[in-house]
A and B are shown apart, each in its own frame.
Chain A
Amino acid sequence: MGETLQPLIEQLPAYLGGHIRLSLASILTALAISLPLGVLAARNRTIAGPAVTAASVLQTIPGLALLALMVPLLGGMIGFLPAYVALTLYGILPVLRNTIVGLQGVDAGVREAARGVGMSPVQSLMRVELPLAAPAIVAGVRTASVWVIGAAVLATPVGATSLGNYIFSGLQTRNWAAVVFGCLCSAGLAILLDQLIRALQISAASGKPFRAALAGILMIAVPAGAILGAAALTGEARQAVAGAQAQAGFGGEPVVIGAKSFTEQYILADVIEARLQAAGAQVRRRDNLGSTVVFDALVSGEIDVYVDYTGTLWANALGEDAPVPRHQMNAAVSSWLYQTHGIVSLGRLGFENAYGFAVSRGLAEANNLQTIADLQRVDGLSVGADPEFFSRPEWERVRALYGLTGVEQRSMDSTFMYAAARDGQVDAVTAYTTDGRILAYDLAVLDDPAGALPPYDAILLISADAAQRPAIARALAPLIGAIDAELMREANAVVEVERRGVGEAARLILETLPE
C-alpha cells in the first residue's frame, strides 16, 4: 500500500496546489461577476431574463466540452487560462440565480421601510437587502464551489494541473489507486470548502465575529499557502536551471513537452524529457491534453514538442478524408504543417499506431474472420471504439468498403476496449496497433485489404518557436527512426500489462538508443 501511495503523495502538492489555485480563482471571479450582475438583474427584469438564460445554457454544456472549447476560443492557449475562464463561466449560474431569487424575495415592505427611514439605495442594498438575501446567496456560492471544484478535474486535458492529473493518467495506465486517490482528494476538497463557507455563514449570522474571522482566515490561508508554496518551489527550480540551460543553447525558457492522454504518449514524453534533460535543457510537461488541444497548443507555441500521428493530422488538421499511401501522406502532412504553421516535423519515430479492428481469438476462429469484411458474418455486430473514431471519416469508409451495416456503435474509453473485446462485451474494437494488450489478451487484428484505415505513423513535431532553438532538434534527433512497432508495443505492455511505471517503459526505449 505504501508503495502505491508514495508516488501519489509526492505529486500531491503540485496537483492539489494547482487544483486549489484554479478553482479558487474561478470561484472568486465567478462571484465578482455574478454578484453585481445579480444585484442589477434583481432590479431590472430586462437584464434578469437574458442573464439567467445565458448562464443556464453555459451550465448545460458538459464541463469537458466547455473546457476544451476554450482552447480554440482563446487562440490555442492551453493551461491555466482556458480552464480558469471555463470554470468561471461554470460557477456563475448558481450565484447569479440565487442572488436574483434572494433579492427578489426580500419583503417589499422591508425595502420600503429602508427607503422610508432614509437609507440611500446603496445603503438599503448593503444593510438590508443583501443581508436578508445572504442565506440564498451563500447557498449559491456553496453550490458553485462544489461544482467548480468537481469540474476542475476536467482541466487536465486542456493542460492545467489539477487533481484530474491523477484521474486521467490513472485511467490510461490502469492505475486505479491513482484514480480513486484523485477522486477522493477532489471530493474532500469540495466538502472542506463547502463546510468552511457554511461555518463562515453560521458564525456571521449568529454574531460571532471571532469564529467568522477564523473561518475566513482559514479560507484564505489554506489556498494562499498552497499557492505560495508551489510558486516558491517552481521559482527556485527555475532560477537554478535557467543559467545552465542558456549555456546549453536551449534559450531562457523551459522546453514544454505535450502529451495526449494515453500511455504511449506518456512514455514518449518521458523519453523526450530524458533526452532534453541529458542535453542540459530545463523541461516542463503538459500531459493529458486532448487530441485537438495538443495540436492547437503547438500551433500557438504553448508547447514546444510532442508526438502526433500522420493519419490523425491528415483528417483533423488538414481536413482530408481520402487516404493516400503512407509516404505521400507523410510528405503532405509535413509540408502542410511547415507552410501553414511553421511547425517542423523532425521525422518518423519508426512505428505506426494505427487503428486496427481487433476481435477475440475465439470469435475469430468461430467465424473464420480474416479481414474486416468478414465481420459481416457476425450477427448483430457491435463495435467498441474511442469516441473520436466514430466521427472520423475512416469509419464511414470502413463501413462503405466492407459493407458493414446496422453496426451497434459503443463509445468507450480506450482503456476499456481491449478487455471488452476479450470478454465478448463487444464483437470488435478499434485497437491501437501498438497497444500491449493485443498480445496480452490474445486478440486478432483483422486485415484491411482495401486500405480503408489510413496510416498513422508517429512523427515528432516541434513548434515554430522551438525550431529556432536548434539544440532541441539536436537532442531529439536520435529518436528518429529508432522506435519500431515491436519496441513500442513492448514499452506499452510494461505499463498496461505488467502494471509497472511509465518511467520504466521509457527506460526500455532509452536503453536501445545509441549514445
Chain B
Amino acid sequence: MDGRASLSVSALAKTFPGGVRAVKDVSFAAGPGELVALVGESGCGKTTTLKCINRLLEPSAGRLEIGGEDISGLDPVALRRRIGWVMQGDGLFPHYTVFENIAVVPRLLSWDAERIAARVDELLQLVRLDRDEFIHRKPRALSGGQRQRVGVARALAAGPGLMLMDEPFGALDPITRDALREDVAALQAELNFAAVMVTHDMAEALLLATRIAVMHQGEVIQYDTPDRLLAAPADARVTRMLESPLREAARIGALGGGGHG
C-alpha cells in the first residue's frame, strides 16, 4: 500500500439487532502520522466503533472515509486487507509460525514469495525481533511481548495507511508495555500511518495520542488534544478519568523532587 491514508469518521452510529445502541453519533478524524485514542470504560462503545471502521461490524448510520473515499460501498474483505489490525491479546494464528503469521496479508494479496520473504525480514527488524531466532517459532513459544510485536508486524505487513489497534498493550507487563509503546510511536513516526487506538488507560492515551476521544455510553463526551484535555476537561466524568494518571504523576514527581536528601 503506497499512499498514506487519513481516516474520517462522522456521525457514526451502531445499533445491535436487539435494539442496544452501542454507538451514537461518534465523529473524529486521524490524518497521516496521527493517532486518535478512543478512551472509556468497558462497554462505552469504543471497540464497537473500531470494528465499524474495518466493517467487522456494519455501521447503522454515519459516514466513514479513508483517504477521502467513502468505504461503505467497498467489499469489506478487500477493505480489511488495506487496514492494519492489532487485536486485543495478540490474535495470532496458533498453527502458523511467526513467518506465516506476518505473511498472512501479503499472501492474501498474492504477493510473490520473494517479496513476502523480504518484507517479513524487514518487519521483524522494525519490531526488533531477531529474525533467525524467531522466524520459525509458533506463537506458543513466544513471550507476551514478543507475540504482541509479531501482531504489530502482521498488521504492518502490507504497508497499510491506517492502523486500528484494540487495547494493543493491555495484556503486557508494565516494562514490556512501556518498551512496545515507545516502539509503536517510533514506527508511526517513521511510517507515517494514521492510527486509531482503543484503550481504557487514560495515561496511555495521554502519552501516545494526537487527539483523544473520551467515550461514555456510546457518545464522545470530549474530543481534544491531550494538552487541552488536561487543561479544560469538558465535565466531571472526564475530570474523574484524568484523576488517576494525574495523581500518579504527582506522586512520582514528589518522589523525584521532594526527597529528604
A interface, CB within 8 angstroms of B: 107, 109-110, 112-120, 123, 128, 131-132
Contacts and interface: CB of A to CB of B under 8 A. Distances in A.
Contacts of A110: 91, 93-94
Contact of A117 (B89, B94, B95, B105): B105
A123 B78 CA distance: 13
Given A110-B94, A128-B93, A132-B95, A117 B104 contact: yes
Interface residues of B, number: 21
12 contacts: A109-B88, A109-B89, A110-B91, A112-B87, A113-B85, A116-B87, A116-B91, A117-B108, A118-B108, A119-B104, A119-B108, A128-B93
Contacts, number: 50
A110 B94 CA distance: 8
Given A115-B56, A118-B105, A132-B95, 12 more contacts: A109-B88, A110-B91, A110-B94, A112-B56, A113-B87, A114-B93, A116-B80, A117-B104, A117-B154, A118-B80, A118-B108, A119-B104
Interface of B: 54, 56, 77-82, 85, 87-89, 91-95, 104-105, 108, 154
Nearest to B88: A109
Contacts of A128: 93, 95
Contacts of B154: 117
Which 4 pairs from chain A and chain B are nearest by CB? A118-B81, A113-B91, A118-B80, A116-B85
B71 to A, nearest CB: 13
B89 to A, nearest CB: 6
B108 A123 contact: yes
B56 A118 contact: no
Given A116-B54, A116-B56, A118-B105, A109 B81 contact: no
Contact of B77 (A112, A118, A132): A118
A304 B85 CA distance: 71
Nearest to A113: B91
Given A123-B108, A132-B95, A117 B56 contact: no
A113 B155 CA distance: 11
Contacts of A131: 95
A118 B78 contact: yes
A123 B108 CA distance: 9
A137 B82 CA distance: 34
Contacts of A116: 54, 56, 80, 85, 87, 91
A110 B89 CA distance: 10
Nearest to B105: A117
